[in-house]
Amino acid sequence: MVGPPGSQTRPLPPLLRLSPPIRCRIYRFLGVASWDGRPNQFDLHGRQVFFFAPDPSNFYGLLLSCRTIYSEAAAMLYSANWFVLYYSVDDDPCSFGPLAALTAPSLRSLSNLKIVLNEASCHPLSIYPEKCCLQGYDTVRGSSGRSQCQRRHRGSHRLPLLTPAPECSDNEKLAADQALLKKWETTAARLSVVAPKRFTLSLVCDINPQHPQALQMAESAVAPIRRLPPLRGCSIRLAKTADARLQQVARDAVVDACGLPRPSSRPSSTATLTSLPRELRIRILEYTDLVTPRREVTWSREDHAYSIFTYDPYFSDTPDKQHGAQFFHCSVGRSLSGGPPTNGCFCRRRHAAFSLACKCWAPPTALFLTCRALYEEAQHVFFSHNRFLVHDFKACPPWELPVLDDGEPYPNARFAASHSSAPSSPPARSPTSASSSSSSPLTAPRAGRGRSTPPYRTGGRPSPGCAARSTHRRSPFACLSWT
């Protein structure tokens, strides 16, 4: 290179002599970003998150070489990958240090970040997560999520915030939890430079929902998120178990953070659902959860209840099963069905959480409790758009079903279908039902691998035909469970 007279000039380093597209290919070869566009996940503390994730030491030297290469490599690194930051009492006060050390250009390039302030149950480290230890696999033998948790990452669990600890008083525990949220508020202020509608944030802060100050603590945890620029996506978990109050706080915070309009609390002065013609109401109800994801409902003589049989997403070997897995296992089902990866379990059925990515099916009980007209129409849609399978025994787990030897007589005096009258009893005003009620072989459920979860009930355990015979409006989902 030729410089001014008397000056000593140095030639450019070999890497900078290459064109920018070639340099970007070299960055990808070193693991800065993947070739297929799927993000890798890195821990800001430097710990390995996923077994197949590239080692950050492979490209760490690029970030220390020169300002030009740092700008290019850092922009690719933070925009193409996902990052996670775990708060640890042992690392305090350095837990938030890696995030505070990021420069403003790096923060503006950041596309996806998960902050774990406190986890009372497993929250997967990877965007390709394992089974959460609270996903209902506890009753399965040695392969259960809880047993795996005890073997592999027992030390990652902590008590929910506001939970009394034996080593300190209640006031000391409350002061420590408030100090944690104060540090989070200070750290979150640095994220105010992120690009609007390009940044996705996930927050895990498990709180004890039984504490009188749980609601106030939850509001303090989500308050810094509301001050950020509009986010592209947001997921919040505030308790390891489902809680309606904390879930509403998470939902409101996600809606505000993403700039989505909130539903009006005042009734509309124009058209309402009940003011529409009956044909339109039925068409609208057909797009609700009254129609189950696989259009199939099971009733068993032993349970005396309806259930939805789901397949383990890890053993879903057909496109239909993989597609249906996203409506029951949102943390892994979307990835297995070909959709984008998820950032852990923010399922609204399993936790006090809310995420726009969670599409898990839930019984629409409220549709049966609004008025008599909607109750009858909801019954019609439920019984005419789903296929009903009637079993003599519990359908799940399938390996516990009894097996009848050849020539052994049927064990009951009456078929199970004769005890299940609700599926064949649509409302009188409804057109001819398109549903079917069939008695399946005793070993039929062995074709799939299912799981048993706690039943969903709003009261006692009514008989199968309770919804059709009761003088009070009651949802058939009062005796519905997932299996």
**Interstrand relation of 437-439 and 387-391 (parallel, antiparallel or unpaired):** parallel
Q: Does residue 2 lie within any of the structural domains?
A: no
The answer on 92 and 223 residing in a single domain is yes
Which pLDDT score, from 0 to 100, does residue 407 have? 74
Do 236 and 113 share a structural domain? Answer: yes
Same domain, 250 and 298: no
Segment 115-129 mean pLDDT: 70
Say which range, 184-193, 214-223, 367-376, has the weakest mean pLDDT.
Answer: 367-376
The reply to whether 210 and 316 lie within a common domain is no
**Is there a single domain that holds both residue 204 and residue 307?**
no
> Is residue 264 one of the residues assigned to a domain?
no
Let me know whether 218 and 319 are in one domain. Answer: no
Q: How many domains does the chain have?
A: 2
In percent, how much of the chain has pLDDT > 70? 66
Average pLDDT over residues 38-64: 81
Query: To the nearest whole number, what is the mean pLDDT of the chain?
Result: 75
Q: Which residue has the higher pLDDT, 21 or 148?
A: 21
* 124, 132 Cβ separation under 8 angstroms: yes
Residue 271 lies in a domain: no
Instruction: With respect to residue 306, please indicate whether it lies within any of the assigned structural domains.
Output: yes
Is 328 in the same domain as 253?
A: no
The Cα 261–Cα 253 span in angstroms is: 12
Residues 236 and 173 in one domain: yes
Segment 99-117, tens digit of pLDDT:
988 999 999 999 999 999 9
Q: Is the pLDDT of residue 469 over 60?
A: no
Q: Summarize pLDDT for 45-54 with one digit per residue, the tens.
A: 877 666 677 8
- Asked which of 257, 285, 318 is the last residue of a domain, the reply is 257
Last residue of a domain, one of 227, 257, 287: 257
Same domain, 171 and 285: no
Instruction: For residue 109, give the H/E element and its range.
Output: helix 104-109
Asked if residue 400 lies in contact with residue 300, where contact means CB atoms within 8 angstroms, the answer is no
Task: Say if 262 falls within a structural domain.
Answer: no
427 domain residue, yes or no: yes
Helix (H, G, I), strand (E, B) or coil at 281: helix
**Letter string b/e over residues 326-340, b meaning 16 or more CB atoms within 10 A of that residue's CB:** bbbbbbbbbbbbeee
Domain boundary among 257, 288, 306: 257
Q: Is the domain of 161 the same as that of 27?
A: yes
| Domain extent for 194 | 14-257
| Residues 176, 230 within the same domain | yes
Same domain, 185 and 119: yes
| Stretch 197-208: mean pLDDT | 94
Sign of CA dihedral 454, 250, 323, 438: positive
pLDDT per position as a tens digit, 289-314: 898 888 888 888 777 777 776 655 55
Q: Is residue 346 part of a domain?
A: no
